[in-house]
């Protein structure tokens, strides 16, 4: 059922009980979701808030208020959420009685975000004003209007917080404009620019891995590290996002935020404390140290791709230009591979290879740290020795593996690689919250560490924009790659020029 359609009848028992109960009034906290019936809300945000509710992480008096343009009643909205969101709740975590109670704290208001008069329905009596978290799960083009209308309606106070979903702009100028507009109504410490990759357990574990283990820090630099690979591969196509995606592409959608944030955590210097600004200061220094790409660098060190229809065995998959709402002559990239350099002493001459794409062979996100090989090997047929490698898997599994050399069983001294593995899933019996739940709780508790600061966002765009401009000047079509493969052959050649290979090819 499309969100614009009226919800179906025949409510579940849990839904009927929730509807029959009293409407939730303002308590101590309102989580206000603009775009409350959109994909992000029912697939990610509400399942994440349900998990927090299930584990009693939401304080009593919390209300979740969905906003949308549909002229629904509260009962209509609850019916819609009841029919959509449970499918996105972690297996085994759904409890009908808890779901009923969760639906009881949901409410709905019909609000057109572009119409100032509609915001009057959000006002509360002066003696019952809750703290408000505004989650803007809408197109970024609406962010400025929403901020202005909230302010004009008197709905922002010193306790308010606003969460901004990516992408924040399409280039540096638009990102600066959004930041400036939001900054007129919210102080910087009230703004939470969310990147769900920063909520992943393994990503947050990188800080402890790096700065909590003395064995790594002395080696976490040139010349002991040969190269770093960061891959975020998706097996799905653009699906229902084609209308948005064709105006963005993989560089804007993934590299400018997710991959650069991962690069920052891998490459940053130790912060002086875990204070949010101390951590974000170090990430900012990395972004400002990225070597700017000139046109020759863009031509040599970047690869754009676009998936075409699959061939051979397995399920058939359409090409990108055959997807619904994609122009048949589209030049939007669905794949990017590039080589980046960081101009500082720690990372001198260490290449960072970033890669992301849709319709790739498997869904996989990982960071590969290749250490420098032995300068001389005493073992036969092991010229220089095989380098050690740290493999940090973010999805679908979360694990950290260190590849080392050991003796092959039997006579002789034949080395072979083995992996020391830390299975993060079983390393602790504590529940592992999903990324959105963890980040939403950070917003509620006022923790900014895992959110982008304004100057971070603008520094990322400052580095990405010359690549976009270079592609435009070169005027080349993205290279074709078959759906279900690892991208264009040119991405392998990008690595081969450094005598390296992507992880799955090595």
**Dist CA 459 CA 123 (whole Å):** 37
Q: Are 494 and 502 in contact (CB under 8 A)?
A: no
Using alpha carbons, select from 227, 220, 219 the residue that is nearest to residue 497. 227
Catalytic, out of 84, 149, 258, 450: 258
SS3 of 159-197: CCEEEECCCCCCCHHHHHHHHHHHHCCCCHHHEEECCHH
DSSP 8-state symbol, 219: G
Q: Collect all residues with Cβ–Cβ distance below 8 Å to 142 and sequence separation of at least 6.
A: 34, 113, 114, 136
β-bridge mates for residue 422, sequence order: 400
Q: How many CA atoms lie within 13 A of 140 on its CB side?
A: 21
124: annotated binding-site residue? no
Give the start-end residues of each E strand in 309-438: 335-340, 352-357, 364-371, 389-395, 399-407, 415-423
Q: Are 326 and 242 in contact (CB under 8 A)?
A: yes
331: annotated binding-site residue? no
**Dist CA 29 CA 58 (whole Å):** 9
200: annotated binding-site residue? yes
Q: Collect all residues with Cβ–Cβ distance below 8 Å to 212 and sequence separation of at least 6.
A: none
Give catalytic status of residue 258 as yes or no: yes
SS3 of 114-165: CCHHHHHHHCCCHHHCCEEEEEECCCHHHHHHHHHHHHHCCCCCCCCEEEEC
Q: Name the residue with tokens 């006022």.
A: 446
283: annotated binding-site residue? no
Q: How many CA atoms lie within 13 A of 19 on its CB side?
A: 18
166: annotated binding-site residue? yes
Q: Name the residue with tokens 């409350």.
A: 36
φ and ψ at residue 194, rounded to 5 degrees: -90, 135
Q: Collect all residues with Cβ–Cβ distance below 8 Å to 454 and sequence separation of at least 6.
A: 179, 183, 188, 191, 193
- Would you list which residues are annotated within the binding site for substrate? 196, 200, 234, 253, 358
- Would you list which residues are annotated within the binding site for NADP(+)? 69, 166
Return the active site residues: 258
- Would you list which residues are annotated within the binding site? 69, 166, 196, 200, 234, 253, 358
């Amino acid at each position: 059922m499309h969100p614009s359609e009226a919800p179906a009848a025949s409510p579940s028992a849990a839904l009927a009980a929730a509807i029959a109960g009293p409407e939730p009034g303002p308590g101590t906290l309102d989580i206000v979701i603009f775009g409350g019936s959109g994909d992000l809300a029912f697939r990610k945000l509400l399942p994440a808030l349900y998990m927090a509710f299930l584990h009693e992480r939401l304080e009593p008096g919390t209300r979740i208020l969905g906003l949308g343009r549909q002229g629904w009643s509260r009962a209509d909205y609850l019916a819609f959420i009841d029919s959509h969101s449970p499918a996105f709740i972690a297996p085994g975590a759904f409890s009908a009685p808890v779901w009923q109670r969760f639906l009881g704290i949901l409410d709905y208001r019909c609000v057109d975000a572009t119409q100032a008069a509609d915001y009057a329905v959000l006002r509360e009596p002066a003696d019952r004003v809750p703290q408000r978290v505004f989650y803007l799960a809408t197109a970024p083009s609406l962010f400025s209007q929403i901020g202005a209308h909230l302010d004009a309606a008197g709905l922002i106070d010193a306790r308010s917080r606003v969460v901004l979903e990516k992408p924040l702009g399409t280039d540096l100028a638009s990102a600066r404009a959004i930041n400036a507009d939001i900054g007129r109504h919210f102080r910087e410490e009230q703004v939470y620019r969310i990147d769900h990759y920063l909520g992943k357990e393994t990503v947050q574990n990188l800080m402890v891995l790096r700065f909590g283990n003395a064995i790594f820090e002395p080696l976490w630099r040139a010349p002991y590290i040969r190269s770093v690979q960061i891959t975020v591969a998706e097996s799905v196509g653009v699906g229902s996002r084609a209308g948005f995606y064709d105006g963005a592409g993989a560089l804007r959608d993934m590299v400018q935020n997710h991959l650069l944030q991962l690069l920052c955590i891998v490459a940053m210097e130790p912060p002086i404390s875990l204070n949010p600004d101390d951590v974000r200061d170090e990430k900012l220094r990395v972004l400002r140290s990225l070597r700017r790409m000139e046109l020759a660098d863009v031509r040599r060190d970047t690869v754009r791709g676009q998936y075409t229809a699959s061939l051979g065995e397995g399920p058939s998959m359409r090409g990108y230009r055959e997807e619904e709402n994609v122009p048949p002559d589209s030049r939007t990239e669905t794949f990017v591979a590039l080589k980046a350099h960081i101009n500082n002493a720690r990372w001198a001459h260490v290449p960072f290879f970033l890669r992301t794409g849709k319709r790739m062979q498997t869904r996989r996100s990982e960071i590969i740290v290749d250490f420098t090989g032995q300068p001389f090997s005493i073992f036969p047929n092991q010229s220089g020795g095989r380098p050690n490698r740290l493999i940090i898997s973010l999805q679908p599994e979360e694990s950290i593996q260190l590849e080392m050399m050991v003796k092959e069983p039997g006579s002789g001294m034949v080395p072979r690689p083995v992996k020391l593995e830390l299975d993060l899933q079983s390393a602790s019996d504590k529940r592992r919250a999903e990324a959105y739940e963890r980040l939403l709780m950070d917003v509620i508790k006022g923790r900014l560490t895992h959110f982008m600061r304004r100057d971070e966002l603008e520094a990322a765009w400052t580095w990405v924009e010359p690549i976009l401009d270079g592609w435009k000047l070169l005027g080349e079509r993205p290279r074709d790659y078959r759906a279900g493969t690892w991208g264009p052959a040119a991405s392998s050649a990008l690595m081969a020029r450094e005598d390296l290979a992507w992880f799955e090819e090595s």
